[in-house]
Amino acid sequence: MVALPGENISAEPAGYHDDGKPKFFARWFYSTNHKDIGTLYLIFGIISGLIGGFLSFMMRMELADPGIQFFTNEHQYLVYVSMHGLIMIFFMVMPALIGGFGNWFVPIMVGAPDMAFPRMNNLSFWLLPTALICLLISFVVPGNANGNGFGGSWVMYPPLSTTGHPGPAFDFIIIGLLAAGFSSIFGAINFITTILNMRAPGMTMHKMPLFAWAVLVTAFLLLLALPVLAAALFMLFTDRIAGGTGFFDPARGGDPQMFQHLFWFFGHPEVYIMILPAFGIVSHIISTFSKKPIFGYLGMAYAMVAIGVVGFVVWAHHMYTVGMDVNLKAYFLAATLVIAVPTGVKIFSWLATMWGGSIRFTIPMQWALAFIFLFVVGGVTGVMLANAGVDAYLHDTYYVVAHFHYVLSMGAVFGIFAGFYYWFGKMFGVMYNKFLAAAHFWLFFIGVNVIFFPQHFLGLNGMPRRYVDYPEEFAIWNQVSSFGAYITLAGVVFFFLMLIEAFIVRRRVGDNYWGEGATTLEWTLSSPPPYHQFNVLPRIEDNAEH
Amino acid sequence: MKSPTNKTTIIAAIIAVAIGVGTFVALIVLGLGGERGMGQPVDGGYFLQDAATPVMEDLTTVHNMVFYWISGITAFVMALMVYIMIRFREKANPVPSKTSHNTAIEVVWTIAPVLILLFIAVPSMQLLYFQDKLPETDMTIKAVGNTWNWSYTYPDLENIEEIISNPLDEVQAKAQGKPYLLGTDAQLVVPVDTNVKVLVTSINNMHSWTVPSFGIKMDAVPGIINETWFRATREGVFYGQCSEICGIKHYYMPIEVNVVSKAEYARWVANDGAFTSSVAQNNTLMGSGQTAAQK
């Protein structure tokens, strides 16, 4: 083990190397260790990703040609659309980025032995499989007269989610999402407490690695946004009971638009919850493989804070067509455009970090570079959609689908894979096969672009979202888009081949297998790190670089 | 004297500029030069449907203006990345610099986007207010979303009964020469060059009344009457599709607007909402299946 600054190895207490690792069942099912919980989150994210990916693959199969081919009825298609959104957001991206990498690396990066509340951490994780099971149950219980499951999209707008789906399917979704929401709120409290109180001596806020900053901002967004979702879901729940409340029922003085405001007050910060941790990961990777400290560190940290703050006051740009007052629309237009400024600061700072660097095109660096470019593409179409006037044409068309998949399916997901390949050796102690990893990257990169770039054309040509069938004029680009799904599927196959190969061959890696560019604390530990790290807290020197 | 570094710089710059300019030109040529559908999508199209109202004309202008900016930004970032990836790859630049601050450039890349956004925001705001401000209207129609069809009423005209506009199935659509999933059995009929106020509401789930060529998309919300307007400047049939998820037949409740001459409209009204001649039917055929280029 490499001596940390200020650490005296000979002074370690006896039994330092006795990790006290519990046996299998206690270790993985009662787990309170942040690294084990992080691994559980990653496994959970992969499983959910497979489920969500299967749903989207079925949708692309269906949409490859006009007409209804694969689904028994239109309701089933809408169920797949809705569940794809919910599962990918709540059970794939968030667990992987925040639960997985956040748990694994935030305590290590700030020099803490574990999370502040290890038992609550355990609860956070185990609420999620419970929630996912609720969502899966909703597939097989009645939604409405047309069949099983909930087909009201992930936005769950009433009256479609109240009178439109009287069956228990949607109740299971409410329960599941409430459980997932509590899981995230507990996780957020844990991260905030850990980051604010458990930093190692000398680790001031302004020396903290950017990934820890990203998770801190994300945790605040979670803490402020999710209770609003919980309230809205609970109001839906009571509205759904016969003779219950009428919050969103116009016949009883309620207002269906009120739900949209509540939902998007949560929903817009949610998109930054998904992308900010990816920003943090990409910053580390760009810095490591350029062999340079991150450019404009403070600007980078506060750009994330700015994105988080402004992200709370732009929600109604999802609702330009609901009939809002024009002055309100003008405000949301202006506020939304403002977000492009801190986002631009981040993009240019990444480029400036690479400028003058000595760039190695490793697998994680390829994912990170692809992230930057694709996030720019997704970002600029966001500028287009921010224009409330133009949005009267583009709202709820495939242009929107293309936009948010560029920032999520290629932004957040590329951030996840970048982090996965960056820290793979650190987490599991072994290195992946570079050919399999490269095949995964290129198939995925080409595949998702072939899926989503043509969807801009579909949107411009006027194709609305959430359509199981479409006029034949849209057929060509839908076919191309579905072809992209097959390429992406091949990429996913290589991802699993990579995993299997890596764990069979077991190529051991050293503490800092990326070399001089990797400067954060996790690279001072063994790979994988000891079961309990930092028995003696590391001391961060004044001149420490980020 | 030329060092290898200088040579790399020049090569990297040439490749980067070529890729940047190439991307920009390709985006502009492909993005703005495409075939445009009039009143309905065009086969394999990749551009906005053609404008039939002043609002849609302005919307197209703003879209194109923003499109120039975002294409330029994308091409610029792409070129910059290509340059950096060639010039500063490990082989070409083995010793990294240690620069991590430059206040001047940080100010520049904060201010420049602000200025670009101001350039975008001003025309965008003008469009927004133009779209919203109802001019003096000549007539009113009311569109009501139902699961799953649209119904139209003319509150000013007592002799026109409610028009229930149901979608045509594939066989009927083919028989009537209308596009499947767009054509309906009963059109909304309005006169050309007339300011039409549209009231939009719903009696159960939410829907959205959309006509792309008019630049209109207005949610139909139960309990709320939303208001918008259009002034069609061309005759023909214009199609749209419901744009807010409303249940299983969400894809199957199209909107069909027939814009006829003022004289024809007067005859239609005088005849209690029925066409006296086959002109309107011809009109239907003219409007469908044609593109702006062919007109």
pLDDT tens digits, residue range A296-336? 999 999 999 999 999 999 999 999 999 999 999 999 999 99
How many CB atoms lie under 10 A from the CB of residue A128?
26
Would an 8 Å CB–CB cutoff place A12 in contact with chain B?
no
Among candidates B78, B128, B247 on the partner chain, residue whose Cβ is nearest the Cβ of A333: B128
> Is B31 within 8 Å of B67 (Cβ atoms)?
yes
Residues B146, B121 within the same domain: no
Nearest C-alpha in A relative to B62: A390
Mean pLDDT of all residues in B195-224 = 95
CATH number of the domain that B227 lies in? 2.60.40.420
In a domain, B282, yes or no: yes
Residues B120, B145 within the same domain: no
Angle B280-B193-B261 from CA coordinates, rounded to 5°: 20
Regarding predicted confidence, which is higher, B133 or A400? A400
Among candidates B99, B128, B247 on the partner chain, residue whose Cβ is nearest the Cβ of A356: B99
In a domain, B72, yes or no: yes
Q: A144: which 2 tokens?
A: 């409405």
- What pLDDT was estimated at residue B117? 95
Phi-psi region of A465 (alpha: psi -120 to 50; beta: other; left: phi over 0): beta
Q: What does pLDDT average to over chain A?
A: 93
Residues B219, B75 within the same domain: no
d(CA B238, CA A425) in angstroms, rounded, equals 59
Sheet holding B149-153, edge to edge: B163-165, B149-153, B139-146, B196-202, B226-230
pLDDT band at A2 (very low <50, low <70, confident <90, very high): very low
Would an 8 Å CB–CB cutoff place B218 in contact with chain A?
yes
pLDDT at A14 > cutoff 90: no
Nearest C-alpha in B relative to A155: B245
pLDDT, tens digit, 9 for 90 and up, residues A438-497: 999 999 999 999 999 999 999 999 999 999 999 999 999 999 999 999 999 999 999 999
Mean pLDDT of all residues in A189-209 = 95
CATH number of the domain that B21 lies in? 1.10.287.90
> Based on the structure, what is the number of domains in chain B?
2
Residues B152, B256 within the same domain: yes
pTM of the full structure: 0.94
**Chain B residues closer than 8 Å to A333 by CB:** 121, 124-125, 128
Q: Domain ends where: B132, B159, B190? A: B132
For the ranges A14-23, A84-93, B172-181, B225-234, the lowest mean pLDDT is seen at A14-23
Residues B248, B229 within the same domain: yes
How many CB atoms lie under 10 A from the CB of residue B22?
13
Residues B149, B281 within the same domain: yes
In a domain, B1, yes or no: no
- CA B270 to chain A, closest CA, distance in angstroms equals 34
Q: Domain ends where: B80, B111, B132? A: B132
pLDDT at A255 > cutoff 90: yes
- What pLDDT was estimated at residue B100? 87
For the ranges A138-142, A460-464, B5-9, B116-120, the lowest mean pLDDT is seen at B5-9
Residues B42, B101 within the same domain: yes
Residue type, B136: E
> Is A496 within 8 Å of A162 (Cβ atoms)?
no
pLDDT at A1 > cutoff 80: no
In a domain, B245, yes or no: yes
Choose among A519, A531, A527: nearest CA to A4.
A519
Residues B281, B146 within the same domain: yes
Residues B38, B85 within the same domain: yes
- What pLDDT was estimated at residue B135? 83
A393–B217: do the CB atoms touch at under 8 Å? yes
> Is A68 within 8 Å of A74 (Cβ atoms)?
yes
In a domain, B56, yes or no: yes
pLDDT, tens digit, 9 for 90 and up, residues B93-125: 999 998 888 999 999 999 999 999 999 999 999
pLDDT band at B3 (very low <50, low <70, confident <90, very high): low
In a domain, B285, yes or no: yes
For residue B196, list its beta bridge partners: B139, B230
Would an 8 Å CB–CB cutoff place B165 in contact with chain A?
no
In a domain, B123, yes or no: yes
Q: Domain ends where: B78, B113, B132? A: B132
Domain that includes residue B187, residue range: 139-294
Regarding predicted confidence, which is higher, B29 or A229? A229
Residues B23, B146 within the same domain: no
d(CA B220, CA B146) in angstroms, rounded, equals 9
In a domain, B13, yes or no: yes
Residues B44, B159 within the same domain: no
Residues B282, B174 within the same domain: yes
B221–A389: do the CB atoms touch at under 8 Å? no
Indicate if the alpha-carbon torsion angle A95, A98, A99, A100 is positive or negative: positive
d(CA A447, CA A38) in angstroms, rounded, equals 29
B89–A361: do the CB atoms touch at under 8 Å? yes
pLDDT at B276 > cutoff 90: no
Q: What does pLDDT average to over chain B?
A: 89
DSSP, collapsed to helix, strand or coil, labels residue B195 as coil
Choose among A494, A378, A469, A409: nearest CA to A52.
A409
